[in-house]
C-alpha cells in the first residue's frame, strides 16, 4: 500500500535544459512515492511521457537512474515495474538507518552551529504544517528538507553519502510508514523530543531519540508491508 496522489499533484516537468534530466527523474520518483504507481505496477513509457511532458529519451534516462537507486526493476519482456520491498528488505534498511541516523543526531547535537539549529527548527515547523494539511508531495518535500538540514549540521560527509545511497528506498518506506493511523502525530512528537535534545546539546539523548523515531517508523512500515502481503495471499 502507498499513499494516493492528490488531485492537485502535478508531475509536469519545467523545460530548463540544465536541470531537465534531474527533474524528470525526480518527477517519476515522486509519482511512485505518492502512489501514482503502486508496487509491482508497470511503468509504460508512453504514460510517463504524457505525465512529465518530455521525450522518451529523457524518460528512459530517468528510468535507468531509478533502477540504479533500487526504486524500479526492469523485467525482460515486461519492462520497468515499481520495485516491491519485502518486510525483510525493509527491516534491513531500518537497521542501517537506526545506526546512521542515530549517529547523525548525536553529531548534530555536538557540532552544529546555532544558525544550523535554527534552520532545523524552521524545517521542523514546515514539516508539522505539511503533515497537518499538506499534499503527499508537500509532506515528502518537508521530510526531505528536515533530514537534509540534520545531515548538514552533523557535518560528516561519509555519513551523508552513505545515506544518500539508500535515499530512494528510505523515502519509499517513509511514505509507507506515514499511512499508519496516527503515525503523523506520533512522528511529530518524536521529532519534537529530538529537537529538545539537540537544543540542550545532549548528544546521547539525541542519538536515543533519533533511534526511537526510526524504530517506531519501522514498526509502522513493516506492519503495512506484512498486511499487504497477507491481503495479496488471501486474494
The grid cell for 86 is 519485502
Q: Are residues 136 and 161 part of one domain?
A: yes
Mean pLDDT, residues 167-183: 90
CA distance 152 to 86: 31
Q: Are residues 222 and 132 part of one domain?
A: yes
Question: Distances in Å between the alpha carbon of 206 and those of 72, 77, 104?
Answer: 34, 49, 9
The single-letter DSSP state of residue 42 is: B
Over 60: is that where the pLDDT of 87 sits?
yes
Mean pLDDT, residues 94-115: 97
Residue 202 in any domain: the answer is: yes
The grid cell for 16 is 530548463
Beta carbons of 8 and 133 less than 8 angstroms apart: no
Q: Where are the alpha helices (DSSP H) in 53-166?
A: 56-68, 87-111, 114-133, 136-154, 157-165
Boundary-marking domain end, from 60, 82, 104: 82
Cα of 154 vs its chain's centroid, Å: 19
Give the closest residue to 188 by CA, choosing from 145, 128, 142.
128
CATH number for the domain harbouring residue 54: 1.10.10.10
CA distance 213 to 230: 26
Instruction: Give percent of the chain with pLDDT exceeding 90.
Output: 77
Residue 206 in any domain: the answer is: yes
Q: What is the pLDDT of residue 231?
A: 81
Over 60: is that where the pLDDT of 17 sits?
no
Question: 11 pLDDT band (50/70/90 cuts)?
Answer: confident
Which residue segment(s) compose the domain that 24 sits in? 17-82
User: Tens of pLDDT along 19-77?
Assistant: 788 999 999 999 999 889 988 899 999 999 999 999 999 999 999 999 999 999 999 98
R_g of the chain computed on alpha carbons: 18
User: Tens of pLDDT along 136-160?
Assistant: 889 989 999 999 999 999 999 999 9
**What are residue 74's DSSP bridge partners?**
80
The grid cell for 67 is 533502477
What's the whole-model pTM score? 0.85
Residue 117 in any domain: the answer is: yes
Question: 7 pLDDT band (50/70/90 cuts)?
Answer: low
Question: 6 pLDDT band (50/70/90 cuts)?
Answer: low
Over 80: is that where the pLDDT of 195 sits?
yes
Q: Who wins on pLDDT, 232 or 126?
A: 126
Residue 96 in any domain: the answer is: yes
Question: 234 pLDDT band (50/70/90 cuts)?
Answer: confident
Over 70: is that where the pLDDT of 9 sits?
no
CA distance 14 to 47: 18
Whole-number average pLDDT of the chain: 91
CA distance 96 to 28: 26
Instruction: Give percent of the chain with pLDDT exceeding 70.
Output: 93
Residue 120 in any domain: the answer is: yes
Q: Are residues 44 and 127 part of one domain?
A: no
CA distance 161 to 167: 10
Give the closest residue to 28 by CA, choosing from 75, 96, 80.
80
Q: Are residues 21 and 125 part of one domain?
A: no
SS3 74: strand
Question: 16 pLDDT band (50/70/90 cuts)?
Answer: low
Over 90: is that where the pLDDT of 209 sits?
yes
The single-letter DSSP state of residue 83 is: -
Residue indicated by cell numbers 529523457: 58
Q: How far apart are the first and last CA of the chain?
A: 15
Mean pLDDT, residues 70-88: 93
Q: How many structural domains are present in the chain?
A: 2
Q: Are residues 78 and 122 part of one domain?
A: no
CB atoms under 10 Å from CB of 76, counted, come to 5
Q: Are residues 137 and 45 part of one domain?
A: no
Q: What is the pLDDT of residue 73?
A: 94
Amino acid at each position: 500500500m502507498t499513499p494516493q496522489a492528490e488531485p492537485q499533484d502535478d508531475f509536469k516537468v519545467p523545460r530548463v535544459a540544465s536541470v531537465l534530466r534531474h527533474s524528470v527523474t525526480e518527477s517519476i520518483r515522486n509519482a511512485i512515492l505518492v502512489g501514482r504507481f503502486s508496487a509491482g505496477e508497470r511503468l509504460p513509457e508512453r504514460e510517463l511521457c504524457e505525465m512529465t511532458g518530455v521525450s522518451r529519451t529523457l524518460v528512459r534516462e530517468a528510468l535507468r537512474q531509478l533502477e540504479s537507486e533500487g526504486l524500479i526493476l526492469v523485467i525482460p519482456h515486461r519492462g520497468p515495474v515499481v520495485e516491491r520491498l519485502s518486510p525483510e528488505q525493509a527491516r534491513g534498511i531500518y537497521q542501517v538507518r537506526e545506526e546512521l541516523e542515530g549517529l547523525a543526531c548525536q553529531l548534530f547535537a555536538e557540532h552544529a552551529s546555532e544558525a544550523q539549529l535554527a534552520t532545523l527548527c524552521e524545517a521542523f515547523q514546515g514539516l508539522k504544517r505539511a503533515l497537518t494539511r499538506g499534499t503527499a508531495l508537500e509532506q515528502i518535500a518537508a521530510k526531505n528538507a528536515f533530514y537534509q538540514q540534520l545531515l548538514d549540521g552533523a557535518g560528516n560527509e561519509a555519513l551523508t553519502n552513505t545515506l544518500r545511497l539508500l535515499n530512494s528506498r528510505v523515502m519509499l518506506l517513509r511514505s509507507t510508514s506515514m499511512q499508519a493511523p496516527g503515525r503523523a502525530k506520533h512522528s511529530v512528537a518524536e521529532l519534537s523530543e529530538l529537537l529538545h535534545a539537540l537544543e540542550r546539546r545532549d548528544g546521547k539523548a539525541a542519538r536515543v531519540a533519533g533511534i526511537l523515531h526510526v524504530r517506531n517508523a519501522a514498526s509502522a512500515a513493516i506492519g503495512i508491508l506484512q498486511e499487504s502481503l497477507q491481503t495479496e495471499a488471501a486474494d
